[in-house]
Structure 1
């Protein structure tokens, strides 16, 4: 939690408490279902929570916006982002029912009113969104094909609606088809060695 407070000093006490309680909930449920890698659980706040909140460092979701967390898995990045942006609606999408059922319970225990898990394949979802966020699901061009028709036509932002991808390593091949992509290296925002190769990639819906 020291890392969260270090980089997000303006969070309210209620938000800090929910992020603190988050680890306890995952420690319990991860014993039953592998929501997140057990090898990285010891570094829960850096590798999972803070990495996901890298999106909050480079982008601000307006109140009333609707965001899809594609392939949410164990609820990342949707749950941490829904805590930091309590006035933004997050739809957490995954096709694995047992994970969605546990995420529902975690959201209930955290009293999150703006996070809504759905068990469905993203390409079958009929909703329209302002933005899509996702972490380590598959290659960008594959995801782009799934979500290209999922965006609202009108944007309330100065930039076009689009997707924010949490990525690590070399992604030069992945973004060749997207010359308009903007890369935000997280090493510019977080000083820990873990973030040297981590980044947020923004791609508009055009």
Structure 2
């Protein structure tokens, strides 16, 4: 972990920071070897991945079930599950090599609040109060894939970049068609992260 981020990591992960360190080490070793994380991402693993994902916990209600669509290497689902042992996280990922890594990581970290589902979002037959996605697709596609998994009264939390507001404006009609209400752009980690995390929240209509 970069020295300058140790204090921030301790604030974000609290007493679970050693577990977060173990996961980061898995990403930097097995994750790179299996092609889940690019080698260039290793020096910025904490800044761009671990902390960036963990602060999503700020907008996740207490004690809910979460479905993480297109989980890949477990982002944001695993950092969220580490920070928030009160939530139950299902990692949804269609690729076998990724689900194998996820299952091994969950076992190695002893995360009893995480399960892994191999398949596409459309094949997942459960719903949850919160559905998350990071770097999966544009908002119109995300809404189409994810809104059916959002329980009544629940919400989609899509991690996005600096063009989030433009994407919200561009895909408002598609989001409504998929069953979402008007999308909001939220910021997580302000005052903690140098670049706060941008999240688009879409509540189910």
Fold similarity call, TM over 0.5 = yes
Q: Which residue of structure 1 aligns with residue 118 of structure 2?
A: 119
Query: 1-side partners of 2:193 and 2:109: how far apart?
Result: 29
Query: 1-side partners of 2:6 and 2:56: how far apart?
Result: 13
Decide which of 162, 168, 172 is 1:169's aligned counterpart: 162
Q: Which residue of structure 1 aligns with residue 106 of structure 2?
A: 107
1:9 shift after superposition: 2.5
Question: Deviation digits for residues 134-163 of structure 1, max 9, x if unmatched?
Answer: 11100011111112222222xxxxxx3111
Q: Which residue of structure 2 aligns with residue 157 of structure 1?
A: none
Query: 2-side partners of 1:191 and 1:10: how far apart?
Result: 10
Question: TM (normalized to structure 2)?
Answer: 0.85
- CA RMSD of superposed structures (Å): 2.1
Instruction: Structure 2 unaligned segments of length 5 or more: list them.
Output: 176-180
Using the TM superposition, name which of 140-149 and 175-184 deviates more: 175-184
Question: Deviation digits for residues 107-129 of structure 1, max 9, x if unmatched?
Answer: 10100001111110001110011
Query: 1-side partners of 2:199 and 2:159: how far apart?
Result: 5
Decide which of 188, 191, 206 is 2:190's aligned counterpart: 188
| Larger strand fraction of residues | 2
Whether the aligned pair in 2 keeps the contact of 1:75 and 1:103 (CA below 8 Å) is yes
Residue 152 to residue 73, structure 1, CA distance change in 2 (3 Å): same
Query: 1-side partners of 2:122 and 2:24: how far apart?
Result: 31
| Larger helix fraction of residues | 2
Question: Deviation digits for residues 80-100 of structure 1, max 9, x if unmatched?
Answer: 000011121100001111111
- How many residue pairs get aligned? The number is 194
Residue 189 to residue 136, structure 1, CA distance change in 2 (3 Å): farther
Query: 2-side partners of 1:23 and 1:11: how far apart?
Result: 13
1:56 shift after superposition: 1.7
